[in-house]
């Protein structure tokens, strides 16, 4: 999902860069205040771990294989702010050392994978883990959060590409969402299995059990939540929403809409409104809801299966 | 991606390009990438000029063309994928050509810069432009232990493979996950030792 250079224009790259600088600054500040100096090398080692873990290939049907992305897993293991710093380090090194992901697109990649993926996934993880107590609940939460984070980051990526005018929303969104709904299943299963392995071997290392990493504070939730909402409002909402956007509404009210009419009618799809768009939006929403419910049911099943079984490497 | 792919080319570390200060190279990289992304496609002279400049730099740096070619091909599946999607649409073809042109030029720029600049040089430049110290420490430690942990993961996987029969896919997933979990545990134990070593050498 690394966006290369050349896929984003100036405005998209700039906006995402501002959002991710704010997010990373917030994460660094929280980590500096909350993390004891003892734990600082752990951030670097966790980043190296994430890099090495991404090289372990899991066999999927038909000779293909997939690998862990791991932002949400690190968030569950170390807490959200530490995860944002760790994933930022990984993405920066991938960008500058291995040319994986663009330099000017680094802002967008950071926003999708460090902030949306890690924090968005962590929020889902906490929410589900609070509703379902015990080990079973925690594994279910991990699997579901891994799936949600993969899909959320993919949709944001499609929105950014559409805003930059590289890949049309009508093409990019279904492709990215479908592929990552499948990839997300693998991500969720691997995350839950790894969390299980860690919690069976060294339960003291988990963020919620160790006194060294306090639970996120209100300011942290508020800051990241604001960034996530801003990102969704800028990159996803204008494309996904069937209502006319603010500018169109103002234009209609002030009555200068007809001035723009020649341009609009010359465009292949006037005003983005395909015939039958209301039905299409409803169908997309329905498909999304069914997909999410299925993923949650699968996560519940996985949590039940894993929590009952003895440790895989006992 | 496998580890061989991540290893940097050995030898030829003494060309004119290698000896340039890291700040100059990073600045030039940013300038070239920024220009390539932001210039309108009508200005073909910019793209031709950048391509010519990059070819000259590649020649001067004495990195083998085969290495550069495989590196760029390995990194462009997304570019090629979007090419296929856009090639199916009648209208977007010229637009897509522009996107591909930009991506390939930027990819070549960053690959050249990364393979002629030592990582410590990049870190020093980051320090100079006031990137927060915590992030730089994290990146430096990550780079130091990346290859160590990747090797460790490889050894653990080999040890697993030589001791267990891979019966079913589900069993494989469980063993691979416990390898990853174990890797995290070893990484955090190593982090504690690293912290003590850092303190012993007068860190902070």
CB contact under 8 A, B82 and A7: yes
Task: Report the interhelical angle of A277-308 vs A169-201 (nearest 10°).
Answer: 10
ipTM of the complex: 0.85
In sign, the C-alpha dihedral spanning B180, B184, B190, B191 is: positive
Chain B residues with beta carbon closer than 8 angstroms to that of A175: 85
The residue to which tokens 């990049």 are assigned = B122
* Per-residue confidence (pLDDT) for residue A48, from 0 to 100: 92
- What tens digit of pLDDT does each residue of B121-167 get? 888 998 898 888 899 999 999 988 988 998 888 888 888 878 766 66
* Per-residue confidence (pLDDT) for residue B103, from 0 to 100: 84
Q: Distance (Å) from the C-alpha of residue A151 to the closest C-alpha of chain B?
A: 18
Q: What percent of chain A has pLDDT over 90?
A: 23
Determine which of A117-121, B13-17, B65-69, B80-84 has the lowest per-residue pLDDT on average.
Answer: B80-84
The domains of chain B are located at 3-126, 132-200
Task: Tell me the residues of chain A between 199 and 238 that have a Cβ less than 8 Å away from chain B.
Answer: 201-202, 205
Chain A residues with beta carbon closer than 8 angstroms to that of B142: 44-45, 47-48, 51, 89-90, 93
Beta-carbon neighbour count of residue A2 at 10 Å? 20
Q: How far apart are CA A80 and CA A217, in angstroms?
A: 11
Chain A residues with beta carbon closer than 8 angstroms to that of B29: 103
Structure tokens at B94: 């010229």
What residues are paired with A59 via a beta bridge? A65
CB contact under 8 A, B174 and A193: yes
Longest dimension (CA), chain A: 73
Task: Tell me the residues of chain A between 102 and 121 that have a Cβ less than 8 Å away from chain B.
Answer: 102-104
The residue to which tokens 């009555």 are assigned = A255
- Tell me whether A164 touches chain B (CB under 8 Å): no
Tell me the mean pLDDT in the region B44-51.
85
Q: How far apart are CA A291 and CA A77, in angstroms?
A: 27
- Tell me whether B140 touches chain A (CB under 8 Å): yes
- Tell me whether B54 touches chain A (CB under 8 Å): no
Cα distances from B62 to residues A96, A162, B18, in angstroms, run 20, 39, 10
Q: How far apart are CA A25 and CA B134, in angstroms?
A: 11
Q: What percent of chain A has pLDDT over 70?
A: 80
C-alpha closest to that of A66 among A182, A151, A173: A182
CB contact under 8 A, B204 and A37: yes
Nearest neighbour of A103 by CB, restricted to B29, B132, B184: B29
CB contact under 8 A, B137 and A193: no
Q: What is the mean pLDDT of chain A?
A: 79
A10-236+282-308 topology per CATH: Arp2/3 complex 21 kDa subunit ARPC3 (1.10.1760)
Structure tokens at B3: 């580890």
Chain A residues with beta carbon closer than 8 angstroms to that of B82: 7, 166-167
Q: Which residue in A has a C-alpha nearest to residue B164's C-alpha?
A: A313
CB contact under 8 A, B188 and A42: yes
CB contact under 8 A, B184 and A49: yes
CB contact under 8 A, B37 and A51: no
The residue to which tokens 């790259």 are assigned = A13
- What tens digit of pLDDT does each residue of B16-45 get? 778 788 888 888 888 888 888 888 877 788
Tell me the mean pLDDT in the region A17-26.
93
Interface test with B, best of A9, A23, A51, A52 (most B CBs within 10 A): A52
* Per-residue confidence (pLDDT) for residue B73, from 0 to 100: 78
Beta-carbon neighbour count of residue B148 at 10 Å? 14
Residue B94: which residues within 8 A CB-CB, separation 6 or more? none
**Spatial contact of B76 and B21, defined as CB atoms under 8 Å apart:** no
**Residue with more model confidence, B60 or A215:** B60
Tell me whether strands A58-59 and A65-66 are parallel, antiparallel or unpaired. antiparallel
- What tens digit of pLDDT does each residue of A42-91 get? 999 999 999 888 887 777 766 667 778 888 999 988 888 999 999 999 99
Q: How far apart are CA A138 and CA A154, in angstroms?
A: 24
CB contact under 8 A, A96 and B179: no
CB contact under 8 A, B29 and A46: no
- What tens digit of pLDDT does each residue of A231-271 get? 888 887 777 665 545 444 444 555 444 444 343 333 444 44
- What tens digit of pLDDT does each residue of A49-59 get? 998 888 877 77
Q: How far apart are CA B85 and CA B119, in angstroms?
A: 37
* Per-residue confidence (pLDDT) for residue A259, from 0 to 100: 45
Q: Distance (Å) from the C-alpha of residue A20 to the closest C-alpha of chain B?
A: 14
For the purposes of burial, counting CB atoms within 10 Å of the CB of B186, is it exposed (0-12), middle (13-18) or buried (19 or more)? middle
Q: How far apart are CA A205 and CA A210, in angstroms?
A: 6
Nearest neighbour of A46 by CB, restricted to B78, B100, B187: B187
Alpha helices in chain A (DSSP H): 10-34, 40-53, 71-78, 80-98, 106-109, 121-131, 134-163, 169-201, 218-231, 237-240, 246-254, 261-266, 277-308
Task: Report the interhelical angle of A80-98 vs B133-163 (nearest 10°).
Answer: 80
In angstroms, what is the C-alpha Rg of chain A?
21
Chain A residues with beta carbon closer than 8 angstroms to that of B135: 24, 28, 85, 88-89
- What tens digit of pLDDT does each residue of B91-107 get? 666 777 777 888 888 88
**Spatial contact of B125 and B23, defined as CB atoms under 8 Å apart:** yes
* Per-residue confidence (pLDDT) for residue A84, from 0 to 100: 93
Q: Is the pLDDT of residue B12 over 60?
A: no
> What is the pTM (predicted TM-score) of this model?
0.83
* Per-residue confidence (pLDDT) for residue A147, from 0 to 100: 92
- What tens digit of pLDDT does each residue of A142-175 get? 999 999 999 999 999 989 988 888 777 887 888 8
- Tell me whether A129 touches chain B (CB under 8 Å): no
* Per-residue confidence (pLDDT) for residue A212, from 0 to 100: 52
Interface test with B, best of A9, A26, A44, A65 (most B CBs within 10 A): A44
- Tell me whether B15 touches chain A (CB under 8 Å): no
Tell me the mean pLDDT in the region A182-191.
89
Residue B1: which residues within 8 A CB-CB, separation 6 or more? A54, A55, A100, B74
**Residue with more model confidence, B170 or A266:** B170
Nearest neighbour of B146 by CB, restricted to A3, A31, A51: A51
Length of chain B in residues, anyone? 204
């Amino acid at each position: 999902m690394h966006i290369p250079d050349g896929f984003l224009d100036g405005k998209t790259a700039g906006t995402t860069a501002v959002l991710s600088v704010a997010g990373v600054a917030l994460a660094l500040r929280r980590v500096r205040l909350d993390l004891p100096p003892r734990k600082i090398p752990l951030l670097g080692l966790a980043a190296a771990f994430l890099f090495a873990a991404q090289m372990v290939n899991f066999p999927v049907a038909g000779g293909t294989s997939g690998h862990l992305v791991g932002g949400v897993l690190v968030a569950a293991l170390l807490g959200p702010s530490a995860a944002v710093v760790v994933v930022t380090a990984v993405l920066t090194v991938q960008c500058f050392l291995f040319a994986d992901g663009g330099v000017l697109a680094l802002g967008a990649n950071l926003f999708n994978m460090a902030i949306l993926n890690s924090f968005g996934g962590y929020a889902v993880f906490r929410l589900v883990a609070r509703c379902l107590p015990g080990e079973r609940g925690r594994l279910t939460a991990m699997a579901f959060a891994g799936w949600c984070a993969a899909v959320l980051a993919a949709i944001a990526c499609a929105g950014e590409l559409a805003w930059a005018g590289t890949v049309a929303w009508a093409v990019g969104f279904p492709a990215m969402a479908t592929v990552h709904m499948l990839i997300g299943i693998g991500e969720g299963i691997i995350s839950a299995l790894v969390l299980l392995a860690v919690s069976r071997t060294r339960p003291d290392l988990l963020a919620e059990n160790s006194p060294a990493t306090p639970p996120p504070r209100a300011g942290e939730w508020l800051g990241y939540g604001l960034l996530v909402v801003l990102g969704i409002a800028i990159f996803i909402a204008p494309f996904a929403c069937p209502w006319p956007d603010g500018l169109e509404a103002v234009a209609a009210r002030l009555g200068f809409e007809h001035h723009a009419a020649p341009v609009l009618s010359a465009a292949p799809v006037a005003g983005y409104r395909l015939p039958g768009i209301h039905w299409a939006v409803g169908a997309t929403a329905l498909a999304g809801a069914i997909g999410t419910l299925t993923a949650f049911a699968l996560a519940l099943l996985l949590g039940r299966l894993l929590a009952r079984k003895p440790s895989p490497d006992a | 991606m496998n580890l061989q792919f991540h290893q940097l080319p050995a030898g030829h570390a003494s060309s004119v390009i290698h000896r340039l200060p890291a700040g100059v190279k990073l600045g030039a990289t940013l300038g070239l990438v920024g220009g390539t992304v932001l210039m309108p496609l009508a200005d073909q002279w910019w793209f031709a000029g950048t391509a010519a400049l990059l070819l000259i730099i590649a020649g001067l740096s004495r990195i083998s063309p085969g290495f550069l070619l495989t590196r760029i091909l390995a990194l462009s599946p997304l570019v090629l994928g979007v090419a296929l999607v856009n090639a199916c649409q009648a209208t977007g073809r010229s637009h897509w050509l522009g996107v591909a042109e930009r991506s390939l030029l930027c990819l070549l720029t960053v690959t050249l810069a990364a393979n002629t600049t030592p990582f410590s040089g990049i870190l020093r430049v980051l320090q100079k432009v006031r990137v927060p110290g915590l992030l730089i420490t994290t990146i430096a430690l990550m780079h130091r232990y990346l290859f160590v942990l990747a090797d460790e993961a490889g050894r653990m996987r080999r040890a697993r493979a030589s001791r267990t029969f891979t019966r079913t896919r589900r069993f494989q997933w469980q063993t691979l996950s416990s390898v990853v979990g174990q890797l995290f545990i070893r990484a955090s134990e190593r982090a504690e030792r690293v912290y003590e070593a850092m303190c012993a050498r007068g860190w902070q």
